[in-house]
Every structure is written in structure tokens, then in C-alpha cells.
Amino acid sequence: MSAAVILYGPPTSGKDTVTAALSTADSAYVLFRRLKVGAGRTATYRMTTAEHVAELAAAGDIIWKNERYNAVYIVDRPELVNIVAAQRVPILHLGQPEAISAVCAAMPEINWTVVELWCPRDVAERRIRDRDTGDVAERLTAWDSTVRLPADLAELSIDTAVHSPTEAAEQIRKVVAL
């Protein structure tokens, strides 16, 4: 059975830095770059058009779609299938509990490891300001609206203000069944 990781958490909880640490520790781990339609950060996304999203929807290939920061973000089945077929371990960044359920249900043939990343709000605010994206208030609103996961939904819960990205990656690698 193929493996995959879901990193769940609010903005600046460490999803990008933990993903980088996982990929550095083991090249099998690779970021699942969600599709994105809209402005803002582009580095960790596959930028696309509304027309392409409509085509994916018509084919039934959208697993999860959400809107935030004046953009649309999509988890699509074809990209997940491609990553797994290449014998890689996709790492998905999600911020809604419903997204976890949707992704796991859509691809039950994958052994999903769900990891909750968290940090105190003041740490999140400092990280948001350091990013200098110009939307501090909106990202803090998103942080405030992100709920903690029930204990039975996440295999791990890691406070990234306490554990370094390397430490978090090591904890995750111990839990993921490769």
C-alpha cells in the first residue's frame, strides 16, 4: 500500500518548513503542490485557470476545493495518482478537517498519516509578519478559524514552536509506514 502524509494546521504552523525537512531527510517525500487560481504566493502551487478547474470538475477529478485569500485551491486526483505511481510519498498541506476526510475517502488505497502542526498564536503572528505577504489580518483570521483536530484523527500533534522542523520530520518518518 502506498503512503502519504497530510500536514494539517493553521497558517504558519510549519507546513512548508516541515515538508522541506522531510524531503531533505528522504527524497521519497515530495510536496503535493495544490492547484491554485488567483493572486498571491505561487511558489508551492501549480498555478492554473478557472477553465482547467471546470474541466477537472466535469471529469470528477477534484477531491477538495476551498477558497481563501481571494484564491481557489484544489487537491486533484490526477496529480496524487502521478506522485504515488512514481513511488513517492505525497505531502498534502490542509487547513480544514473536512478536507482530511474528503482526501482520505477519495483515495482509500493510500495509507494516510495525518499530522497536526500547531504553534501559539503569538508565534504564528510573528511568522506571518516575517513572511511579509501584506495580509496579516486575513491570515490571523484564518489562524483563529482553524480548529484543533480530535485526538483520534491525527497520528501526531506537533508544536512547531517547541520542535524544530528536523525534529518534526523525524517524528513523522517514524510513524509513516513505507
153: helix, coil or strand? coil
Q: What is the CATH number of domain 2-34+79-175?
A: 3.40.50.300
d(CA 166, CA 177): 19
And the C-alpha cell for 130? 516575517
Residue linked to cell 509513516: 176
* pTM higher than 0.75: yes
Enclosing H/E stretch for 60: none
d(CA 165, CA 117): 10
Virtual CA dihedral for 12, 18, 24, 27, nearest 10 degrees? -110
pLDDT, tens only, 62-92: 999 998 878 899 999 999 999 999 999 999 9
Q: Using the predicted structure, report yes or no on whether residue 23 has a pLDDT greater than 90.
A: yes
Would you kindly state where each structural domain of the chain is located, as residue ranges?
A: 2-34+79-175
- Specify the pLDDT at position 17: 95
